[in-house]
Amino acid sequence: MTEPAARTESNEASIERVGVIGAGLMGSGIAEVSAKAGLDVIVVEANEVAAETGRERIEKSLERAVRADKMTAEQQAAILDRLRFTAEMAELADRQLVVEAIIENENAKTSVFRQLDEIVVDPEAVLATNTSSIPIMKLAMVTRRPGNVIGIHFFNPVPVLHLVEIVTSLHTSPHTQAVAEAYSTNQLGKRVIHSTDRAGFIVNALLIPYILSAVRMFESGFASKEDIDQGMVTGCAHPMGPLALADLIGLDTTMAVAESLYAEFKEQLYAPPPLLARMVEAGLLGRKTGRGFYDYSAARA
């Protein structure tokens, strides 16, 4: 088995200019914590409407922090001043590190990395992906600088959860890994764990089969969704049951990760259950759409 690239005690220069592609839940969270760390951040979305939605998501998050006395209004204003939103990928030309955080779709992500390879000027710039499951090598090999490509996998909600998975491919250079680790730990204050370049990495390779097992249990009528979740919360001290967690992650993301795992390992435990596929087809994706295994419409009203 291929070992991860050697861990380094980095003395790399700190990153100052970050780009984030995607302003959904993950992208906006990555942009927020980067701006909080004092970095200059450009956020790219598909169009101006999506970019504005991303800005509003970050503004609401910071407003909650002000109301909770976790920051002052002056600090909030300074963070927002470090954020720029655009629909133009070309504005990422001067970035030292770019984190892709779009939908969990291999074709969409490879398209982004092809563009980044053409746009980003610095030959040592780190091109990172927040993918939950797609092998890093597949993204690296569509560029002319595969040594610069790495996985920096954050967890939702990014401003709250401290974990980051650093995933190196067979081509990732020691310099790229050192910069990614310094950004994650020294600048963002995250806890880093390391994974080889296998679909799902560490966390999702363990988590997704657990969630899929709960979906199959509910689908078969073995137990109610409430009892399944309560069993894991009360019996195993989990903060959230597996079906509620799937709703938080997003059922579309859960299914995409399962499909990537199944494509790589061909093991039945990774195969998406029919109920999950039907719910995704119906647009019942969890909290973000107001309904998944549970109904969130009242909370969204």
Q: Which of 34, 61, 133, 204 is labelled catalytic?
A: 204
The tokens describing 273, both together, are 């259950």
Q: Which of 132, 133, 184, 195 is labelled catalytic?
A: 132
Q: Is 132 a catalytic residue?
A: yes
Given this model, what pLDDT does residue 6 score? 40
Q: What is the mean pLDDT of residues 246-250?
A: 95
pLDDT above 90: percentage of residues in the chain = 92
Q: Cα(170)–Cα(138) distance, rounded to whole angstroms? A: 11
Classify domain 203-290 at the CATH class level: mainly alpha
Given this model, what pLDDT does residue 13 score? 64
Q: What is the mean pLDDT of residues 256-263?
A: 94
* CATH homologous superfamily for the domain 17-195: NAD(P)-binding Rossmann-like Domain (3.40.50.720)
The tokens describing 93, both together, are 């030309």
Beta bridge partners of 153: 165
**Hey, do 17-195 and 203-290 end up sharing a CATH topology, with the first three levels equal?**
no
Domain ranges within the chain, ordered by starting residue: 17-195, 203-290
What region, left, alpha or beta, does residue 150 occupy, with left being phi > 0 and alpha being psi -120 to 50 degrees?
beta
* Sequence-ordered list of residues with C-beta below 8 angstroms from that of 203, at least 6 positions apart, any chain: 153, 155, 163, 165
Given this model, what pLDDT does residue 8 score? 40
Quick one: pLDDT band at residue 9, thresholds 50, 70, 90?
A: very low
Q: Is 133 a catalytic residue?
A: no
| Cβ pair 245, 211 in contact under 8 A | yes
Place of tokens 């597996």: 242
Q: Which of 165, 169, 171, 184 is labelled catalytic?
A: 165
Angle at which helices 73-81 and 48-67 pack, to 10 degrees?
A: 160
Q: What is the pLDDT of residues 88-147, one digit of tens each?
A: 999 999 999 999 999 999 999 999 999 999 999 999 999 999 999 899 999 999 999 999
Q: Identify the H or E element spanning 62.
A: helix 48-67
Q: Which of 34, 153, 181, 184 is labelled catalytic?
A: 153
**What is the side-by-side order of every strand in the sheet holding 83-86?**
83-86, 40-44, 17-21, 97-100, 126-129, 149-154, 163-167, 191-195
